Structure 1
Amino acid sequence: MPGMNPTTAGFIYYPHPKEHDIPYKPAPPPNNPVVKGVLLHYLAYVVTHAPLVPSILWHNAGFGALRKLKELSNLEPRYEPAVIPVTGNDEGGSAGYTRRDLKNIRVPPKDSNGRFHTVLDVHDAYKSGTTTPSEIVERLLPLIRRDIGDRSPHSTAFVDSKVEIVRQAAEESSKRWKAGTELGVLDGVPFAVKDDVDVKGYKRYVGSKMDYTEGREVETSWCAKKLEEEGAICVGKLNMHELGMDTTNLNTYWGTPLNPYNERYYCGGSSGGPAYAVASGLVPFAIGSDGGGSIRVPSSFCGLYGLKPSHGRVSIAPVSQSDSTTVVQGPLAANMGDLLLSYHVLAQPDPFHHISRQFVPPGPLSKARNKILGIYRPWFDLADPSVRETCYSVLHHFTTELGYELIDISIPLLHEGQLAHAMTIMSETVVAEPNISNLTAPTRVLLKVAQQTPASDFLLAQRMRNLLMQHLAYLFQTYPGLIIVTPTTPNAGCPINKGELAYGVSDGNTQIRTMEYVWLANFTGIPCIQVPVGYVSSTQGRGKVPVGLSGHGEWGSEEELIQFGFDAEQWMSEGGSDGNGRKKPENWVDILSESDVA
C-alpha cells in the first residue's frame, strides 16, 4: 500500500482526503415508465396539470434514497466542485502550442486503418497550395446548410450556418496563406460549436425552439473566440438534445442526426450534433458541453475522442452556465492530436471568469509520469459483455505492453451518487428554465419531476458530492498519477426504436443505464477522457457500433489523461483488439478532396 502524500499545497479548494469504506451494494433496477408517441403528449399534459403525478414519479425514481444514508449525517454540503492546481508549467499558451515546430504534433501514421484527416493534414494542404480555406468552405456549405431546398442529410447535425460570416472568415484566412502570414496550424481549419455556446451573428436555441439570445447583443463565448483568434473558422452551430436533458440527441424540433456508423442508432447526446459533424469528416474537431457525459457519450457512440475538462477550466462567458456546478465545455475530435490542439486553445484562462482565471494555461506533455490505472470491478463489470470484453482487452495491452499497473480500488455509494448528480443537474436546469410550456413533451415531464425536489434533498445531494470528492482525493493522494478506468457507457450504442423520431420518448431507465459511469466526473469536477477502443455487433441496422473506454484523473490532470489517450490511439492504429484498427463510417466526407465532396 503506497504511503499517503499529505500535501495538497499545490491546489486551491482541494477536498479533505478521506477514505469512505462502504461495501458495494447493487442498485435496484430502475422502474421509470417508458412512454413514447401520442401517449407521451398525454403524459406531459397530466404531469403539468395534476400536481400529484410528478411527485409520484419523483419518488418512483428513487430520489428520496439519500434520506436513509447515515454516512451523510456529519458532512457539510459542497456546492462547487472546482479544484484548481496552482503549480504548472511556464510553456503554456495557445500561441506557443499552435505556432511552434509542427514536427512535435503527433498524428496517426498515414497508412493506419480508418485514418481520419487531422488538423495538420488541412494545414499541409494549405501550405502546399493544394487547396485554400475558401475552397474548403465552399465544399462544406452545401452539405451543412439548412436554408437550401435540396438539403443534405448532413445538415441535420447543424442548427445554422451563416454563409456570409463563414465566407468572410475563409477569405481572410486565404489571404493570409497567400501572403505567407498565416497565424499558425489552426489558421483556416473549420470547426463548429454546440448550440449552447454563443457565436456573434448567431442565435442560441439550446436544442429548443426558443431564442435565448432575443433582446441582447451576442458576443462569442470565450472558448470559441480563442479558436477564432488562432484563425480557425467556425462554420456553424450544431444540433443538441433539448436543454441537454438526455443522452440520445433525439430532437423532434430540429431533427435527429443519425449515427454515422449505423443509422438505426442514436449519435448520443447531448452533444450529438458535434459528434456527428466530427465522425462524418465535416470538421476535425468541435466544441461540446458536458453536464452528465454529454461530450463523452456521443464521442463513444460515434467512435471519437472526447475530453471533459476539470470543472470551471473552460470559460463559456459571457454566457452564464445554467447548470453551473455540473457542466463544462470541451472538445470532441477525430484524433488525439486534434483533441490536444483544440483543448490547449479553448482552455486558455479567462481573466473575467471567477474559476477559469485561477487555472494556469495548459502545458506540454511530460514524459515522466506514473502509469497507474484504478479499477472498481463490481462497477466496471456492470457493462454489457461485449463492451466489457472490449475494454478489458485494451487494459491488458496497457499493462503487458505499455508499462501500466492495474490496481483494484473502491468507490462508495455509486447508485446514490448517481441519484444525487441527477437531482442536482435537473434542479439547476429547472431553476434556469422555470417556464417549461414551450418545451417538448419529454423535457416537460423531466423538468416537472425536477420541480418536486425539496431543498432538504438538494442539500443531501451536495453532502454526497462532498463525500465522493473526499474519497477521490484519498485515492489520488494514495496513488499519485492514478487514472480510474471504466467503460464510457455500459451499452454499445443506443438503438432507435419505432415511433421515437417523430414524437420523442421518455425513457429514464435507458438514460440512467447510459450514464452509469459518466456522471462521476461531472458531480465531483474531475477531468475525464473518452477514447474509442473497438467496435461490436449491432442489434439492428447495418454496421458495427463503436465502444469507448474512459479515464478519470485528478483535478487538473488533463495532460496526463491526454497521454493516456495517445497510448489508446496508438493501440487502435496498430490494429486494436480485432487487428483491424480504426474504422471510418460509410458517410465520411473527405473535405480535402473536391471529387469526394461533390
Structure 2
Amino acid sequence: MNYPVAKACDVPYRPAHKQNNPVVKGLPLYYGAKILASCGPLQDLLWSNAGFASLRGLPELDNVDPRYEPTVIKTPSISESPKRADGRAESDPSLLLEEDWTRRRPQLKETGSPYLSSLDYHEAYKSGKLTPTTVLENLLPLVSREVSLKNGDQQTSSSHHATAFLQTREDLARQAAAASTSRYAAGKPLSPLDGVPIAVKDEEDVRGYKKYLGSKIDFTSREDATSYCVRRWLEDGGAVMVGKTNMHELGMDTTNNNQTYGTPLNPHNDRYYTGGSSGGSAYAVSAGLVPLAIGNDGGGSIRIPSAYCGVYGLKPSSGRVSIRPTANLAKSTAVAGPVAANMVDLEIGYRLMAQPDPLDGDSKHFPPPRSQTVVEPETRRKRKFLGVYDEWIASADGPVREACQAAIHYLTTELGYTLVPITLPHVHSGQLAHAMTIMSEALSGLKPTQISHLSPANQVLLSVGSRTPATDFMQAQKLRNVLMQHLSHLFTQHPGLIILTPTTPNAGWSFHPSELTHGSTDANMQIRNMEYVWLANFTGCPAISVPVGYVAPKEGKGRVPVGMMAMGEWCTEDELIGLGYECERFLGERYEGGRARPGNFYREEFFSSS
C-alpha cells in the first residue's frame, strides 16, 4: 500500500553550505528569546539565514506532486496470516516464551555481558533466585526523585540517576511487581518481559502518570489512558515500569539539555550530552538501570541518544507502532520505538509493541513482526546488499568513519554482504525540508500562549519555524516525494538493500557546564548532528542504530561511543534486527576490548551472588 513509484533522481552531490546560525548560550539566550518572540522581522532574518528558502530553486521539484504522508505498508501474505493451529493469535506474548533466545546472545571477550538482558531477569525469576519485587525495591531509591521514608515522609533523592527520570509512581510499580511475582510463583509468566524493569519516555500516555513532554506544560490526556505500545509491554507482557524518563523539551532538539528538570549526563563521559530527545531512556539503558525503554523518534530522537550512549535503538517504519490514543505532534515524521541494552531485548520489545493495533488506522494494516528464527534462513538464501553513499559519508569526522568502516569490512568480508555504491539526491536540502516539516507539525499542536512557557531555546526555534510560508512547506513535501521515489528505485534495483551511514557524523556532543542552567541554541551543531538520521523520518523508512566502537574524548574522562545506522526498505524491521545481531557480534567478538562498560554504571550485585 502506498509504495512510491520507482524513479531515480540523479543529481551531483553538492557539499552543504557552511552553517552560520548564531550560537547563543546562558543569559543572552534567556533575554534574546524574549526579544525574538515579538520581533517578526528578526524571525524572518533567522529563517532565511538557516537556508530554508533554498528549496525554491530546485528544478527537480517542477511538476512533482507533494507527498504529505510517508507511510508505506507491506500487506500481510497468506503465510503471514495471524492464525495459528493452537488457536493463539500471533500477537499473544506467550509465544515469545517458546523461542530459544539464548543462542542469539553475543559471545563476548570478557566473562559475560556488561549489560543484563531481559532474559537474565526472566531466568532469575523462573529459578526463584530473585523476584520482580526484590529487583524493583533495589531500583526505586535510584530512579525516584523523591524517596519514601519509613515514617511516610518524602525526601529528595540523592541519586544522580534520578535526573534521567521525571516521575515514578512507586505504588503502581509495586503493584505490577507483586502481580508479576505471583505469576512466576504460579509458573505462569506472560512473556520474557514479565517482571522486567522498563522505562517510558514522557512523550507517551501512561495511566496514573502525568505527561509534560519534558516541559512545564501539562499535556496529560483527559482519558487517563495508556498508549497502545506501552500497554503491550505493561499489561500484555507483564513488564514493570519504574518511571517516566527525561526528554528534551517537546523533543525539539538532540542534546536532552533540560533546564526545567535537569540534564542527564552521558554515562560514558559526564562532559557529554546523552543525546535526545529520548535521552532519559537512553541513559536508563546505558547506565544499566533497565534493559529496555520506550523512546520516540521524529528526527533521530531514538537513534542519536542510542549512539551517544552506546546502546541499540530502532526507529520503526512510519505508522507501524501504534501510540493510540496519544496524539502524535509530528505524525508524518515521528514514531515510537525501543531503546535496548542488547539486541535480544530490542527484538523482544519491538515484537511486542509492533503488533498490529486493530483500532489504529495505520497500524492495523501492517503484518505482525516475525521471529529471527524465520527471518535468518530467508536472509541466508538471498544476496545481501549494503548501500553506501561515499560523498555523503565523507563529511563525517575521521574517527567516526574509521569505526563504521571496520564494521562494514566485517560484514562484507566475513558475512557475505555485497557493497553497492549509491547516490541520494539533495541530501542537504532534504534535511532542511524535514526540519521545516517537523517544526510546522509541532507548531500546529501548540497554542500560542504555550510557547511562552517553553525554554528559551525552544522559543527561539519555534518562533523561527513559525515563519515558514505555505509555498515553502509545499516544496518540502515535493522533495519528500522525490526522495521516496529515488529510494524506491534503489530498493527495486537491489532487493534487500540496507543503506549504511554513521548515526551521527560526530562522536558525541560535549558541553560547557554553563549550558545546563539557561540552555543553549546551536543550530549549526544541531544540523550537523542530524545529518544522516533525518532521511528515515522524512521518508518513513525503518532504521536502527548499533554501537560499533569508541573514540578518545575531547572533553572529560571516558571514551565516547560511535554508532552506525542501517536504514532499510519500508517494513523491513526484521531484516534490520538481523543486521543488528551481526553488528553486536562484531562489537563483542572482533572489536578490540569488546563492548565497553560505562563509568557511571549500575548493575544489580545480587545477580552475581545469586
Relative to the length of structure 2, the TM-score reads 0.94
Q: Using the alignment, how far apart are the partners of 2:511 and 2:21 within structure 1?
A: 19
Q: CA deviation at 1:586?
A: 1.8
Q: Using the alignment, how far apart are the partners of 2:71 and 2:237 within structure 1?
A: 28
- What letter corresponds to residue 582 of structure 2 in structure 1? D
Q: Using the alignment, how far apart are the partners of 1:97 and 1:564 within structure 2?
A: 23
Q: Deviations over 1:498-526 (max 9, x none)?
A: 41001100100000000000000000000
- What letter corresponds to residue 606 of structure 2 in structure 1? S
**Structure 1 residues 116, 29: CA separation in 2 closer, same or farther (over 3 Å shift)?**
same
Q: Partner of 2:378: helix, strand, or coil? A: coil
What corresponds to 1:18 in structure 2?
A: 7
Assess if the C-alpha contact under 8 Å between 1:46 and 1:53 holds in 2. no
Assess if the C-alpha contact under 8 Å between 1:93 and 1:362 holds in 2. no
What corresponds to 1:142 in structure 2?
A: 141
Q: Using the alignment, how far apart are the partners of 1:68 and 1:219 within structure 2?
A: 46
Q: Using the alignment, how far apart are the partners of 2:276 and 2:92 within structure 1?
A: 28
**Structure 1 residues 469, 94: CA separation in 2 closer, same or farther (over 3 Å shift)?**
farther
- What letter corresponds to residue 290 of structure 2 in structure 1? V
Q: CA deviation at 1:575?
A: 3.4
Q: CA deviation at 1:538?
A: 0.4
Q: CA deviation at 1:101?
A: 3.3
What corresponds to 1:35 in structure 2?
A: 24
Pairing 1:31-430 to 2, within 5 Å after superposition: 31-88=20-77, 89-90=80-81, 92-95=90-93, 97-103=95-101, 106-109=104-107, 112=110, 114-148=113-147, 149-213=156-220, 216-228=222-234, 229-365=236-372, 366=375, 367-369=377-379, 370-430=383-443
Q: Partner of 2:104: helix, strand, or coil? A: coil
Q: Deviations over 1:322-369 (max 9, x none)?
A: 101000000000100100000000011111111111101101221222
Percent identity of paired positions between Structure 1 and Structure 2: 51
Q: Using the alignment, how far apart are the partners of 2:38 and 2:286 within structure 1?
A: 42
Gaps of 5+ in 1: 1-11
Q: Partner of 2:290: helix, strand, or coil? A: coil
Q: Deviations over 1:188-235 (max 9, x none)?
A: 011111000010000000010111116x13101000001111111111
Q: CA deviation at 1:43?
A: 1.3
Relative to the length of structure 1, the TM-score reads 0.95
Q: CA deviation at 1:103?
A: 4.7
Q: Deviations over 1:158-199 (max 9, x none)?
A: 000100000000001101111212222111011111000010
What corresponds to 2:152 in structure 1?
A: none
Q: Using the alignment, how far apart are the partners of 2:409 and 2:60 within structure 1?
A: 36
- What letter corresponds to residue 445 of structure 1 in structure 2? V
What corresponds to 2:604 in structure 1?
A: 591
**Structure 1 residues 282, 324: CA separation in 2 closer, same or farther (over 3 Å shift)?**
same
Q: Aligned to 1:529, which of 539, 544, 560?
A: 544
Assess if the C-alpha contact under 8 Å between 1:107 and 1:118 holds in 2. no
Q: Using the alignment, how far apart are the partners of 1:103 and 1:291 within structure 2?
A: 31
Q: CA deviation at 1:110?
A: 6.7
Q: CA deviation at 1:96?
A: 5.3
Q: Using the alignment, how far apart are the partners of 2:237 and 2:103 within structure 1?
A: 16
Q: Partner of 1:84: helix, strand, or coil? A: coil
Q: Using the alignment, how far apart are the partners of 1:319 and 1:350 within structure 2?
A: 13
Q: Using the alignment, how far apart are the partners of 1:292 and 1:596 within structure 2?
A: 42
Q: Using the alignment, how far apart are the partners of 2:549 and 2:492 within structure 1?
A: 32
Q: CA deviation at 1:592?
A: 5.7
**Structure 1 residues 587, 13: CA separation in 2 closer, same or farther (over 3 Å shift)?**
same
Q: CA deviation at 1:138?
A: 0.1
Q: CA deviation at 1:98?
A: 1.9
**Structure 1 residues 94, 541: CA separation in 2 closer, same or farther (over 3 Å shift)?**
farther
Assess if the C-alpha contact under 8 Å between 1:108 and 1:115 holds in 2. no
Q: Deviations over 1:44-72 (max 9, x none)?
A: 01111111111100000000000001110
Q: Partner of 1:551: helix, strand, or coil? A: strand
Q: Aligned to 2:458, which of 443, 452, 464?
A: 443
Q: Using the alignment, how far apart are the partners of 1:190 and 1:253 within structure 2?
A: 26
- Asked if 1:467 is matched to 2:466, the reply is no
Q: Using the alignment, how far apart are the partners of 2:609 and 2:457 within structure 1?
A: 39
Assess if the C-alpha contact under 8 Å between 1:193 and 1:237 holds in 2. yes
Count of matched residue pairs: 583
Assess if the C-alpha contact under 8 Å between 1:386 and 1:536 holds in 2. yes
Q: CA deviation at 1:457?
A: 0.5
Pairing 1:476-555 to 2, within 5 Å after superposition: 476-555=491-570
**Structure 1 residues 460, 448: CA separation in 2 closer, same or farther (over 3 Å shift)?**
same
Q: Deviations over 1:511-565 (max 9, x none)?
A: 0000000000000000001000000000010010000101100000001101110
What corresponds to 2:151 in structure 1?
A: none
**Structure 1 residues 97, 488: CA separation in 2 closer, same or farther (over 3 Å shift)?**
farther
Q: Using the alignment, how far apart are the partners of 1:87 and 1:252 within structure 2?
A: 46
Q: Using the alignment, how far apart are the partners of 2:131 and 2:394 within structure 1?
A: 49
- What letter corresponds to residue 352 of structure 1 in structure 2? L
Divergent runs of 4+, >6 A = 594-597
Assess if the C-alpha contact under 8 Å between 2:215 and 2:249 holds in 1. yes
- What letter corresponds to residue 601 of structure 2 in structure 1? W
Q: Partner of 1:573: helix, strand, or coil? A: helix
Q: Aligned to 2:584, which of 569, 573, 577?
A: 569
Tell me how large the CA RMSD over aligned residues is: 1.5
Assess if the C-alpha contact under 8 Å between 2:9 and 2:486 holds in 1. yes
Assess if the C-alpha contact under 8 Å between 2:146 and 2:157 holds in 1. no
- What letter corresponds to residue 95 of structure 1 in structure 2? P
**Structure 1 residues 409, 96: CA separation in 2 closer, same or farther (over 3 Å shift)?**
farther
**Structure 1 residues 564, 464: CA separation in 2 closer, same or farther (over 3 Å shift)?**
same
- What letter corresponds to residue 354 of structure 1 in structure 2? G
Q: Partner of 1:16: helix, strand, or coil? A: coil
Q: Using the alignment, how far apart are the partners of 1:496 and 1:593 within structure 2?
A: 36
Q: Using the alignment, how far apart are the partners of 1:325 and 1:100 within structure 2?
A: 36
- What letter corresponds to residue 93 of structure 1 in structure 2? S
Q: Using the alignment, how far apart are the partners of 1:162 and 1:596 within structure 2?
A: 29
- What letter corresponds to residue 409 of structure 1 in structure 2? I
Q: Deviations over 1:364-402 (max 9, x none)?
A: 221222311000000011110000111111111111111
